[in-house]
Amino acid sequence: MEQSRLEDAAYSGFGFAELVAEAERAAAIGGPRAAAALYQAWIAERSGGEPQLHLAWFNLASALNGSGDVQGAIVGYRIALAQRPEFHQAAINLGLLLEQAGDAGGALDTWRKARQRDDARTALINHEGRLLEQAGRLVEAERALFRSLLTTPLQPDVIQHWVHLRQRMCLWPALGEVPGLTAEQVGDHCGPLAALALFDRVATQTRVGAGWIERKTAPAGSRLSPDEGYGHGRLRIGYLSSDFCRHAMSFLVAELFERHDRSRFEIYGYCATHEDGSDIRQRVLAAFDHVRPVRHLSDEAAAKLIRSDEIDVLVDLNGLTRGARLQVLRWRPAPVQATYLGFVGPVPLPELDYLFCDDFVVPDAVAAEYRPAPLAIAPMYQANDSRRAVGPVPTRPQAGLPDTGFVFCCFSNHYKITETVFADWLAILGRVDGSVLWLVSDNEWSCANLRCAAERSGVDPERIVFGRRVPPAEYMARLGVADLFLDTYPYNAGTVASDATRMGLPLLTLAGEAFASRMAARLLLALDAGEGIAESREAYVEAAVRLATDAEAYAEYKQKFSFDTWTRTVGDIGALTRQLEATLVRIARRG
């Protein structure tokens, strides 16, 4: 390595600015270890009284971290913070390293004890809230983020996480009240997923999604794929997802991958998924002709990999959900790009050409409001797996239910349960003696809040029964024990609704304007069970009460939910595969 001028100089005569410049030069030649050596030598020549010693320790810690010496970096940040307790950058970095080392408690303690002015304190609180949310400490996370918003109200990312935490805990109203913000501002920054469960207006969902995309992505430096395409005789189809694991999307789409006609299509899986060791993950990956791991690649590198494979049509399976790699799409690695299945709403990314759907979930009346352009791929858009494993059906007592009485159920995640939906469910329980409402035990706070809401409405909270989460085969079998599935609105059940009807469980839904509020109705129409589609809250309540109290009406409706009927309609994955393939050929050929 070229010798540094610092090594020829008296350390005591060097100023801090000159040290930084020399360390940067050393790092460019010899890497972070070389820079660390200079900082260590300079610090060794200093005792107390050096006004910028805390900065030297901070830079030393950063260099040590860059060279892989995490424990040395932790020590460096601790010393920098001890010398200057209000040095919030040291507190943030120290906490992040402690978190990385598995010491979540130490990270939280560091951020909570750091002395800061208000504008710096928000960053510390935000890290605290993020880590608490990841640890499943939802109440503490929600309170931390609210404290951050009290200091600096207009923080879109903080608002998004705060609102979704409230949704997950059924802490209503989900949008809450933040001093300094209007209800519209909170709603505009609630995040795309939260918006599906809060608003049944396509225009609102599009506005929320566009704002999120503007904050989280940027136009790429160039377009990678040729506009005219490649002209392959055997079309190359790429599927990009972070959910090739035990996730609802994979349970829907696994057999679609398996059934693609290999004489006409070559199937690539671009996997941004954490390894979870599940059977469904192994099955999905085995269904691809080529698996390309991209989780550890940068967006640009992943896009260039897709381009090198000359993919004709790239299908994104995330949309605006967690783990999405939208920045990959911004490079235009394929000449035709579409989004499908993972997010049932607008994905207003300029580089997307199509939103795969059907003519019912996106009717003509609102199609022009969607971005990208909606494209009907089949009479019913949803793929389903005909090979799902089903365990032994339990008895009611085995499932934690009473022997007698009508069992209403909903196994959707609790963030989909709105205050109005739950009020309607309580109204139904109040009119059907001896009935119970069976829900999944999502988290302890939502369960407690739902029972409290029942008690406030005069409904015995013991009539709200929470079932523990169980493995997939056991979950499927459990659906056969209930009498009627009560759907959520405006974000309907998707995979769960299909599972319920497959298991012979009748379903009641409320259909609205947006894709998310029309999914379950699409399933019911396929089953010729359109009488289960309500068009108002009042009609929804009346239909549920009638089915629970009129045995003849219930028996007639239930007959429509046989496994044979499901297999021929909703579960006809062979037909859906052929219809999707015809669409892929058409858009790849620009026909």
Quote the pLDDT of residue 9: 46
- When the pLDDT of each residue in the chain is averaged and rounded to a whole number, the result is 93
Q: Count of CB atoms within 10 A of residue 44's CB?
A: 9
Pick the CATH number of 5-173 from 3.30.1440.10, 3.90.1150.10, 3.40.50.10800, 1.25.40.10: 1.25.40.10
pLDDT in tens, 344-374: 999 999 999 999 999 999 999 999 999 999 9
pLDDT in tens, 165-187: 999 999 999 999 999 999 999 99
List the domain boundaries for the chain: 5-173, 235-386+575-588, 397-568
Average pLDDT over residues 305-317: 98
Q: Which pLDDT band holds residue 221 (cuts at 50, 70, 90)?
A: confident
Residue 11, pLDDT above cutoff 50: no
Q: What are phi and psi of 358, to 5 degrees?
A: -140, 175
- The residue ranking higher by pLDDT, 8 or 186, is 186
Q: Which of 320, 326, 327, 323 is nearest to 300 (CA)?
A: 327
Q: What are phi and psi of 533, to 5 degrees?
A: -105, 115
Percentage of the chain lying above the pLDDT 70 cut? 96
User: In this structure, which amino acid lies at residue 102?
Assistant: G
Neighbouring residues of 331: CB distance < 8 A, sequence distance ≥ 6: 220, 221, 222, 223, 224, 299, 300, 303, 304, 307, 351
For the entire predicted model, the pTM comes to: 0.86
pLDDT in tens, 407-425: 999 999 999 999 999 999 9
Average pLDDT over residues 228-255: 94
Average pLDDT over residues 302-312: 98
Would you say 228 and 545 are in contact if contact means Cβ atoms under 8 Å apart?
no
> Rounded to whole angstroms, how far apart are CA atoms 11 and 46?
8
Q: Using DSSP, state whether 266 is helix, strand or coil.
A: strand
Average pLDDT over residues 279-290: 97
Would you say 11 and 43 are in contact if contact means Cβ atoms under 8 Å apart?
no
Output the six-digit token pair for 352. Answer: 């997307």
What's the fold here for domain 397-568?
Rossmann fold (3.40.50)
Distances (CA, A) of 94 to 98, 175, 192: 6, 33, 32
Output the six-digit token pair for 463. Answer: 């009539």
Pick the CATH number of 235-386+575-588 from 3.30.1490.20, 3.40.50.11380, 3.40.50.920, 1.10.1530.10: 3.40.50.11380
Quote the pLDDT of residue 485: 98
Residue 3, pLDDT above cutoff 70: no
User: In this structure, which amino acid lies at residue 590?
Assistant: R
Quote the pLDDT of residue 46: 72
Instruction: Please report the sign of the dihedral spanned by the C-alpha atoms of residue 449, residue 454, residue 456, residue 461.
Output: negative
Within this chain, domains 5-173 and 397-568 share the same CATH topology: no
Residue 112 pairs in a beta bridge with: none
Distances (CA, A) of 439 to 169, 387, 412, 446, 464: 14, 25, 8, 11, 7
Quote the pLDDT of residue 491: 98
Q: Which pLDDT band holds residue 118 (cuts at 50, 70, 90)?
A: low
Quote the pLDDT of residue 463: 97
Quote the pLDDT of residue 48: 63
259-289 burial string, b = 16+ CB within 10 Å, else e?
bbeeeebbbbbbbbbeeeebebbebbbebbe
Residue 12, pLDDT above cutoff 70: no
pLDDT in tens, 56-103: 888 888 899 988 999 988 998 898 888 888 888 888 899 899 988 899
In three-state form (DSSP H/G/I as H, E/B as E, the rest C), the secondary structure along 311-377 is CCEEEECCCCCCCCCHHHHHCCCCCEEEECCCCCCCCCCCCCCEEEECCCCCCHHHHCCCCCEEEEC
Percentage of the chain lying above the pLDDT 90 cut? 77
Residue 591, pLDDT above cutoff 60: no
Residue 49, pLDDT above cutoff 70: no
Q: Which long-range contacts (CB under 8 A, 24 or more apart) does 555-561 make?
A: 557/506, 557/529, 557/531, 557/532, 558/504, 558/506, 560/506, 560/527, 560/528, 560/529, 561/501, 561/504, 561/505, 561/506, 561/507, 561/527, 561/529
Residue 44, pLDDT above cutoff 90: no
Average pLDDT over residues 484-512: 97
Give me the helix-helix angle, 88-100 and 53-66, nearest 10°.
30
Residue 235 pairs in a beta bridge with: 265
Quote the pLDDT of residue 88: 83
